[in-house]
Amino acid sequence: ETGVTQSPTHLIKTRGQQVTLRCSSQSGHNTVSWYQQALGQGPQFIFQYYREEENGRGNFPPRFSGLQFPNYSSELNVNALELDDSALYLCASSLQPSLYNSPLHFGNGTRLTVT
Amino acid sequence: AQSVTQLGSHVSVSEGALVLLRCNYSSSVPPYLFWYVQYPNQGLQLLLKYTTGATLVKGINGFEAEFKKSETSFHLTKPSAHMSDAAEYFCAVSEGDTGRRALTFGSGTRLQVQP
């Protein structure tokens, strides 16, 4: 069983640029969630995608956007990067949207540094 | 809105000693509660969860946690610490605000195990 894989592992961008992070879900999982983890903090929910539609969003501005593809892989796009966007971005897949019987399986993350 | 408080950003124990990591939550409805562990440069791994039913929950690696509604707590324990338990531990809650689709994490507790 292949786990959640994210690419790239590390990325350096300049303020104002745009970035795309990629995630491949665990086999059989149709739901993907993205979290932002700033240094020394717990992860914060960005949004969830289910069957290629956004299915819930945290307190993040519209410059954070996402896509989910028919094979359930996913992208996180961030426009107009700010210094505070520097963080570890975690992708998590699950069997279904609700966490009742479908826990999140996390990837190892992409470390984004904005200079 | 839901929130999670983890008391103690750093906890140090001796190998073989009891591990106790504290977590309190606030929630307006019955919560789902989770503990995750994060090793350096890795994503989060689920240790255990409480959704309904028995309030004492057993997880992987010998960890367990007890849901105490009257105290709004979900403390994590392990009878005997091992060197390999050194990591960052996150408590998380999911409840009605997000349709039980997303997690709100605490800020984490770093566990050190001394030989």
B107: chain A residues, CB-CB within 8 Å:
40-42
Check if A28 contacts B (Cβ < 8 Å).
no
- Chain A residue with CA closest to B102: the answer is A45
pLDDT of residue B115: 95
Is there a contact between B44 and A106 if contact means CB atoms under 8 Å apart? yes
For the cut 90, the answer to whether the pLDDT of residue B76 exceeds it is yes
Mean pLDDT of B81-87: 97
Check if A100 contacts B (Cβ < 8 Å).
yes
For the cut 60, the answer to whether the pLDDT of residue B28 exceeds it is yes
pLDDT of residue A32: 96
Listed in sequence order, the residues at least 6 apart from B37 whose beta carbon sits closer than 8 Å to its beta carbon are B44, B45, B47, B87, B88, B89, B90
Tell me the pLDDT band of A1, cut-offs 50, 70 and 90: low
Place of tokens 């030989």: B115
Going by C-alpha positions, the residue among B88, B66, B68 that lies closest to residue B76 is B66
DSSP state of B80: S
For the cut 90, the answer to whether the pLDDT of residue A81 exceeds it is yes
DSSP string of chain A?
----EEE-SEEEE-TT--EEEEEEPPTT--EEEEEEE-TTS--EEEEEEETTEEEEE-S--TTEEEEE-TTS-EEEEE-S--GGG-EEEEEEEESSS-SSS---EE---EEEEE-
pLDDT of residue B41: 80
Check if B103 contacts A (Cβ < 8 Å).
yes
Q: What is the pLDDT of residues A28-44, one digit of tens each?
A: 899 999 999 999 999 99
Mean pLDDT of B81-107: 87
Tell me the pLDDT band of B97, cut-offs 50, 70 and 90: low
For the cut 80, the answer to whether the pLDDT of residue B50 exceeds it is yes
Check if A66 contacts B (Cβ < 8 Å).
no
Comparing A15-19, A54-58, A61-65, the range with the smallest average pLDDT is A54-58
